[in-house]
Amino acid sequence: MKTKLSLRTALARARWVLLLGLWPSLAPAVSSVPVAPAKTHTLFMGADLSIEHQHQLCHVDDVQGNFFIIHVDGKEVKIPAKWDRVALKMAPALKIAAGEVAVEKLKVERAYTDANDPVKIFMREQGVAIARMDEIATLERQYDVARSKLQGPGFNPAAGSLRSTLAAGDLAGLYDAAAMTDPTILERVINLKRGEALADSGNYFGLVGHMQDELARELYDAINVEFNLSSPSPLRRPYVVVMVEFHARDARPNARQHWLYAAELDNPHLHPGMVRVKVGGFPAGYVIDQYQIHVYDGPRELASNVAGDRVALSRDEAFAYLKLDYLQARRGATAPAAPAIGRPDLEVQRSLGLARLGQTYFVKVTKDGLPLAAFTDPELTRPVDPELAAVIAAVRFFPALEDGKSVDGVAQLRFSHLGL
């Protein structure tokens, strides 16, 4: 798994974008009274995931159940998300997301498998000693009852043999005083059993000491991950990826290994709940070096409160960063204008309705990425209604390009395809 990235360079670029204040030149005119814009987006260090499949790296598009979903030659391929069977490349990447999901009560800790847990081993082994101690108590009660019967009226020593009863192993026969011809035999059996039980009780304290010694050695061979997850907005295909970097106790310096866990989630907006996983197979006594929690909605990674290097941004600050990244990646290219940021919130989406959300609109866009006018037809003859015009005015666009230079253009817009 590849994890190296020039984080210093990436963050320097992000800070440079923010500190230079590129967004004022991109934003529409505002009131002369300065008002701090709301921080609606998050810049964070995420991870682009790829899997080696048939000697080539394939981008992870989704997770279904416990399978990574990739596409090869246009066909969907499912790869089991098994940490010891998957060649996974994790490329750190600065990303922008609207809002954040909440990861709470997070635990990433070493644990024991049931077979190697010193406490559970102790509980299993002490059962023999406890059984012996219970047997002592039972025999003591039987002895008291038998003595009282032996000393009572109606005892008939000719009715049977205590020796034959003991040989048959029938402890219930000890209750029958008429079966006893020699009460001293019963007392000797009691004493013998008491001695065996006391020896086992001594072994019990030895087991306690052994358990404490094993716990002190910390020979953990499993990992336990737990956290609560919730989302402020509905998600389409949410899943989580947990990555842990660790090394064996006696490993050479820098001999690190990686463990990953991936699973599809219930919608944490509709069903907030606990993510819990415990997996064995780690080298006994291993050490956790670092871990990461990544939450995705299909191919899109979401920001969270545990994401690395988080920076809160206004919408126009986020657009400034996205636009710079877009232009740098398309130097010398020619391309039409395209939507960048401005997905309506849930209240606006409900107001627009599914029909208007799913329709394609045609928007005149300036070379700075600002919308000028929107239409329902590609000939730009039928303007959208005033409600739609107000919503589209809040959208920002990547400008059209001619040989890498920004120019005025026309963008196609579908709100259902707008990621941010």
pLDDT tens-digit readout, 299-310: 888 999 998 888
Supply the pLDDT for residue 169.
45
Do residues 79 and 132 share a domain? no
Mean pLDDT, rounded, for 176-187: 51
**Does residue 40 form part of some domain?**
yes
Do residues 351 and 411 share a domain? yes
Do residues 95 and 123 share a domain? no
Q: Tell me the residue range of the domain where 340 lies.
A: 333-417
Do residues 226 and 263 share a domain? yes
Do residues 342 and 409 share a domain? yes
Residue corresponding to tokens 């964070």: 44
Within 10 angstroms of residue 31's Cβ, the number of other Cβ atoms is 6
Is pLDDT of 23 > 70?
no
Query: What's the pTM value of the predicted model, to 2 decimals?
Result: 0.70
Rounded CA-CA distance 25/41 in Å is 19
CB 45 within 8 A of CB 96: no
Domain end residue (candidates: 163, 185, 217): 217
Do residues 18 and 105 share a domain? yes
Do residues 12 and 102 share a domain? yes
Do residues 17 and 107 share a domain? yes
Sheet with 409-413, strands from edge to edge, namely 371-375, 361-365, 409-413
What confidence tier does 27 reach under pLDDT thresholds 50, 70, 90? very low
* pLDDT 10s digits, 210-246: 788 888 899 999 999 999 999 888 888 888 888 899 9
CB 359 within 8 A of CB 375: no
Mean model confidence pLDDT for the chain: 78
CA–CA distance from 6 to each of 47, 93, 218, 230 (Å)? 13, 10, 35, 31
Work out the angle at residue 214's Cα, subtended by the Cα atoms of residues 208 and 219, and round it to the nearest 5 degrees: 155
Rounded CA-CA distance 52/35 in Å is 49
Rounded CA-CA distance 77/70 in Å is 5
The two three-digit tokens of residue 335, written as one number: 């391309």
**Does residue 320 form part of some domain?**
no
Rounded CA-CA distance 221/213 in Å is 16
**What residues pair up with 273 in beta bridges, in sequence order?**
229
The two three-digit tokens of residue 28, written as one number: 């529409």
**Does residue 321 form part of some domain?**
no
Rounded CA-CA distance 307/47 in Å is 10
For 346-383, the DSSP string reads HHHHHHHHHHHHHS-EEEEE-TTS-EEEEESSTTS-SB
**Does residue 79 form part of some domain?**
yes
Within 10 angstroms of residue 75's Cβ, the number of other Cβ atoms is 7
CA–CA distance from 372 to each of 382, 392, 394 (Å)? 14, 9, 11
Do residues 74 and 166 share a domain? no
Rounded CA-CA distance 150/157 in Å is 9
Supply the pLDDT for residue 378.
93
Domain end residue (candidates: 202, 217, 232): 217
Is pLDDT of 291 > 70?
yes
* pLDDT 10s digits, 373-414: 999 999 999 999 999 999 999 999 999 999 989 999 999 999
Supply the pLDDT for residue 170.
45
Question: What's the structural domain count of the chain?
Answer: 3
**Does residue 165 form part of some domain?**
yes
Q: Would you call 230 exposed, middle or buried from its count of C-beta atoms within 10 A (0-12, 13-18, 19+)? A: middle
Do residues 236 and 355 share a domain? no
**Does residue 161 form part of some domain?**
yes
Mean pLDDT, rounded, for 112-127: 83
Is pLDDT of 15 > 60?
no
Rounded CA-CA distance 195/191 in Å is 6
Is pLDDT of 371 > 60?
yes
**Does residue 323 form part of some domain?**
no
Do residues 169 and 20 share a domain? no
Q: Would you call 282 exposed, middle or buried from its count of C-beta atoms within 10 A (0-12, 13-18, 19+)? A: buried
**Does residue 66 form part of some domain?**
yes
Supply the pLDDT for residue 29.
43
Do residues 288 and 168 share a domain? no
Domain end residue (candidates: 174, 193, 217): 217
Closest CA to 26 of 331, 362, 342: 342
